[in-house]
């Protein structure tokens, strides 16, 4: 396993740790319905929506790689990431959706929108715009089918890591901590998330 794959999995875990990506919602549903199955039931649509957001972002990157010089694409990616990170440093927003009762489809759409709003897919873009860093199982990265497979596998691997982390955190909070304790010991990840976006942008610049 090369470092790009390790980074993909690590970013999946990092996304799963962010309460804005869904585990706080899953815990809230479990507490509302007073059963752990409600927590577990929220995890699949949350992961599905997140995966769709990642797939969309990587599809845009793939189109960019096919139509824009790689050096220009790196600069655009870096600028967007750094701007997104700086914006989140200035504006701190906490989730306001805790307590909602939604269907599988609604929760999938919500997760998709939240992942896009947080720039989750964008955070992975540098791995695909830095020459030689794109996760690949084959040497010939110019073959279209191989490239498509790489994006699909990358999306699935990242989403699996995100789901595993989200499920672990949600179940620990639900069964061991509870939201009352969480409110008293809340650690705001918005700042770290913003710094991660900026770091990803800088990586796109310096690793090219």
- Domain carrying residue 193: 3-206
What is the pLDDT, as a whole number, of residue 20? 79
Task: Identify the sign of the CA torsion 20, 89, 53, 143.
Answer: negative
Q: pTM (2 decimals)? A: 0.77
Which pair of structure tokens corresponds to residue 75? 């600069």
pLDDT of residue 128: 80
Q: What is the pLDDT of residues 51-106, one digit of tens each?
A: 999 999 888 888 888 787 877 877 887 888 788 778 777 765 555 554 456 678 88
Number of domains observed in the structure of the chain: 1
With b meaning 16 or more CB within 10 Å and e meaning fewer, what string describes 126-142? bbbbbeebbbbeeeeee
Confidence at residue 29, expressed as pLDDT on a 0 to 100 scale: 83
Per-residue pLDDT of 143-202, as tens digits, reads 343 456 778 888 999 999 999 999 999 999 888 876 665 555 555 666 677 777 777 777
Distance of CA 207 to the CA centre of its chain: 21
């Amino acid at each position: 396993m090369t470092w790009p794959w390790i980074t993909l999995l690590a970013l999946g875990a990092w996304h799963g740790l962010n309460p804005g990506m869904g585990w706080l919602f899953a815990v809230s549903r479990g507490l509302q319905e007073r059963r752990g199955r409600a927590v577990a039931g929220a995890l699949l649509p949350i992961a599905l929506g997140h995966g769709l957001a990642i797939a969309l972002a990587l599809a845009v990157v793939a189109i960019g790689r096919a139509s824009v010089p790689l050096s220009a694409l790196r600069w655009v990616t870096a600028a967007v990431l750094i701007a997104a990170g700086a914006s989140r440093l200035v504006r701190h927003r906490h989730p306001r959706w805790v307590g909602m009762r939604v269907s599988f489809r609604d929760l999938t759409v919500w997760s998709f929108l939240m992942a896009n709003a947080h720039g989750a897919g964008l955070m992975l873009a540098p791995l695909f715009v830095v020459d030689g860093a794109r996760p690949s199982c084959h040497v010939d990265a110019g073959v279209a089918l191989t490239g498509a497979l790489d994006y699909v596998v990358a999306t699935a691997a990242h989403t699996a890591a995100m789901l595993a982390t989200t499920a672990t955190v949600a179940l620990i909070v639900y069964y061991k901590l509870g939201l009352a304790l969480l409110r008293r010991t809340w650690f705001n990840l918005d700042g770290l998330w913003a710094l991660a976006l900026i770091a990803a942008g800088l990586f796109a610049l310096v690793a090219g």
